[in-house]
Homo-oligomer: A and B are copies of this chain.
Amino acid sequence: MNYNDVLKTARTCIGNYCKACTICNGIACKNSLPGPGAKGVGDTAIRNYQKWQEIRVNMDTLFAPQSVDTSLTLFGQTFQYPFFAGPVGAVNLHYGDKLNDMSYNEILVSACKENGIAAFTGDGTDPRVMESATAAIANADGRGIPTVKPWNLDLIREKVKLAHKAGAFAVAMDIDAAGLPFLKNMTPPAGGKSVAELRQISDLVGVPFIVKGVMTVNGALKAKEAGASAIVVSNHGGRVLDQCPATAEVLPEIAAAVGSEMKVLVDGGIRSGTDIFKALALGAHGVLICRPFVTAVFGGEKEGVKSYIDKLADELKDAMTMCGAFRLSEITRDMVRK
């Protein structure tokens, strides 16, 4: 079962909005919401994908071959690869009845753990989403990152408790969730946070705190000031604000600005190991991939996840070998052309 087979199966059981495209580039779903599309005119996810394609890889094989080490150490944890499955919420609203947030996370978290990486889990207005996600993370010995929405402090406190109970090695917050159409006018509201509020949350979290949804140097510096251990350069796949820049466009300047104390992750249109290589060359420590893991779970459950991880791993190793980078720290800016 390779990832193309997984996609074929996914097409038979995924909801009407996602087409489980061979190349998941935001074109077929464009602005279908509900569904995996982007907000407004819907070109942000497309731009995310395309801007990675404009970055090219500088092949150089005049190196003695070495075995490739793709392992990433983050917050004291070692992962086999520098990529993570991204958080998804409202799975059956957007992707159909076959799975819901609970069953989706259960499959994803354990499959990721078993294959050497970790999954971010999503959050929702239904409290059971976070409960089951953190239960799955607990089963995975804490190798998963619960992603709490930017609720009010009371609700955040509750959710963080679940994360602590699960032994999650880190906790994330998608700080841009205020823009999600499906969270509009919900009670309690989810919204932006000031630096002071974010510091409170960071203190509350205790374990490494990852702020997801940063698209500007200024935002990154505020997250750092608030005590974040990492940020995810992300525009939420275009789902929270119409017509953002692509993450590949803003990553280099953000990575340059934050220095080495805070880790920089990135998501948005990263689909292959080659794309991962590019992101690392542009300054990211690791990446998140989201929609393709959804089709992987729909199309092949744990085996589907494994096949996609294997594909990414092969491609990443390939790119590293062909550029003479044999561990992640050897991937440098001059290995890509922009």
User: Which among A113-121, A191-199, A291-299 touches the partner chain?
Assistant: A191-199
Closest to A219 in B: B60
> Is the C-beta of A56 less than 8 angstroms from some C-beta in chain B?
yes
A178–B322 CB distance below 8 A: yes
* Identical copies of this chain, number: 4
B contact residues around A57 at 8 Å (CB)? 241-245
B63–A243 CB distance below 8 A: no
How many residues of chain A have a CB within 8 Å of chain B?
Answer: 60
**A60-B216 contact in complex given A40-B272, A41-B53, A41-B272, C-beta closer than 8 Å:** yes
CB distance from A1 to the nearest CB of B (A): 18
Q: Which residues of A contact B (CB under 8 A)?
A: 23, 40-41, 43, 47, 53, 55-65, 150, 175-176, 178-179, 189, 191-198, 211, 213-216, 218-219, 222-223, 226, 235, 240-245, 249-250, 272, 274, 278, 315, 318-319, 321-322, 324, 337
Can you name 11 extra interface pairs (CB under 8 A) apart from A55-B243, A56-B244, A243-B274? A43-B53, A53-B243, A57-B242, A57-B243, A59-B215, A61-B175, A61-B219, A62-B194, A62-B214, A65-B191, A241-B319
